[in-house]
Amino acid sequence: MASKLFSLVAFSSFLIIFNLLSSPSLADVPLNTPLPPETICKSTPHPSYCISVLPHKNANVYDFGRFSVQHALSQSHKLFDSIEKYLQTSSALPQPAIQALEDCKLLALSNIDFLSSSLQTVNKTSGVLSSLAADDSQTLLSAILTNHQTCSDGIESLPSSAGSAISDLSVPISNNTKLYSVSLSLFTKGWVPKDKSGVPKRPKRQFRFGKGRLNLKMSSHARAIYDAAINHRRRRLLQVGDEEVLVKDIVVVCQDGSGNFTTINEAIAIAPNNSVASDGYFLIYITAGVYQEYVSIISKKKYLLFIGDGINQTIITGNNSVGDGSTTFNSATLAVVAEGFMAVNITVRNTAGPSKGQAVALRSGADLSVFYSCSFEGYQDTLYTHSLRQFYRECDIYGTVDFIFGNAAVVFQNCNIYPRQPNKGQFNPITAQGRTDPNQNTGTSIHNCTIKPAADLASSNFTVKTYLGRPWKEYSRTVYMQTFMDSFIDPAGWHDWSGDFALSTLYYAEYNNTGPGSSTANRVTWPGYHVINSIDAANFTVSNFLLGDNWVPQTGVPYTGGLI
């Protein structure tokens, strides 16, 4: 009898597992149900690799998810060590390989930080997180893939003559891509709520504009600029909304020597490290002038606030380019990765010109960053919205090929987009969005903006074709909503990258745009292209796509949370 009972139980267990294995979806299975890795891995983009990595035992999605994040952290350390080893023998490497490896080193360090933070999150709970907490970790895990892809792109672009480091790193880079994807997939399945409806808003706080001053020697003229900066800030930014903004300290950059510093980088160097939002911003007031310097804001310089004297008044400029030997990633005039960065009333330029190839003006991998009333001027690859969460309001963006590109979760609102005259034989795709994984919460949303030709393109009789975008990566995602499009936009709207690459996996959408170039009658007929309604469009607003109601108000910058 006992033997028959055991056989019946075993057969029932077999049927349950068989049904799970053969089912097309695990959506109805409780998340804490122990399952074999073959079943769990079916929901990931790389099932075979997933099965090879996860322990060969039954466990639930939370246990497997924690294991994958821990393993990803371990492999990231190993990759970083390998990169370090090759850089220590850099005298044997050509300069392009050294630059690509330096980029990879920086990106690998960032990934180690992001994975450490993500591991803390998944170790705390076995259950669905709040929308805010889930978005924080999903953003980090998405950025890990983006960082790694940036490294991979840099390595793959090198010629075989670059040395053995390139071929030796190709396998671990490929495997880590799959491992990060599996980690993101399991996190999304286990910890992320199925929708963002009813997102609780963080309590709004009244931020004050403090008058704290650094103990620095200042001339009477500099003191006057200092006080004027506070008044300027109060007039130009704080009175546009109900929120006030806390500023902890302020320094003045002035080229004539009457401020605290004559260069921007000197001011950044003395800014505090690892500030938090409640401490207030460290304000660097940059007076009018042309600052010919490459500015880099590293991750520990959190909650910096740049305020200039206005577009085309305070100008940061450089001319690094791929054509002159830089990597795209390292060509930026202004590069920022510090959380909470904000810039107001500043122009950032890359003057390399259309013949020098990729040449970035701004590269931002700064989470919760805001750019208000700024101008970004360049040609190919002007604005690199690399990763994490970003918001641009009332900015001007000039460029030619792929001049808004990257893989951040980003919203452009009330901005002016100006395609310029490219090199002969080129066309202008405005965007080249770089989403590589279906679980990344990234994409480019262009809301209530204006697209018009720059003066040089307008005077060319429009022999150059201009498109809304093209798919740089397989899951490229770009949405235009309530935006004015002038007549020079090609009726097809969008351009392919290479043949049918990504045409069925991308997500390109348009909603209620205006102007002579906005007609969708002759748009592309790709499987991934959509004309959407207001319900779908609402997913790409500041409130929903960025959960911006929880962090944009503290910046004092005006914004529209939903559709207009």
Catalytic site residues? 402
Question: Residues 13, 19, 20, 21: is their CA dihedral positive or negative?
Answer: positive
Instruction: Give the relative orientation of helices 61-88 and 95-124 as an angle to the nearest 10 degrees.
Output: 160
Token duo for residue 235: 């007039």
- Sheet with 466-469, side-by-side order of all strands: 295-297, 334-336, 362-364, 383-385, 404-406, 428-433, 466-469
Nearest to 415 by CA among 384, 448, 443: 448
Q: How far apart are CA 250 and CA 230, in angstroms?
A: 9
In 203-312, which residue ranges form alpha helices assigned H by DSSP? 220-236, 264-269
Alpha carbon distances (Å) from 531 to 189, 368, 413, 524, 540: 28, 29, 20, 11, 14
DSSP assignment of 53-113 equals HS-SS-B-HHHHHHHHHHHHHHHHHHHHHHHHHHHHTGGGS-HHHHHHHHHHHHHHHHHHH
Nearest to 464 by CA among 508, 421, 521: 421
Q: How far apart are CA 352 and CA 330, in angstroms?
A: 14
Cα radius of gyration rounded to whole Å, the chain: 25
Maximum distance among all Cα pairs of the chain, rounded to whole angstroms: 99
Cβ neighbours of 113 (radius 10 Å): 13
Residue 552 CB contacts under 8 Å (≥ 6 apart), including other chains: 370, 391, 542, 546, 559
Q: How far apart are CA 426 and CA 264, in angstroms?
A: 36
Per the CB < 8 A criterion, the answer to whether 41 and 54 are in contact is yes
Per the CB < 8 A criterion, the answer to whether 207 and 245 are in contact is yes
Q: How far apart are CA 486 and CA 451, in angstroms?
A: 6
**Cα 353 to chain center, whole Å?**
25
Residue with tokens 């199925």: 194
Q: What angle do CA 535, 519, 410 make, to 5 degrees?
A: 50
**Cα 153 to chain center, whole Å?**
16
Per the CB < 8 A criterion, the answer to whether 361 and 334 are in contact is yes
- Sheet with 409-413, side-by-side order of all strands: 247-253, 281-286, 304-308, 342-344, 369-372, 389-393, 409-413, 443-447, 477-481, 507-511, 529-531
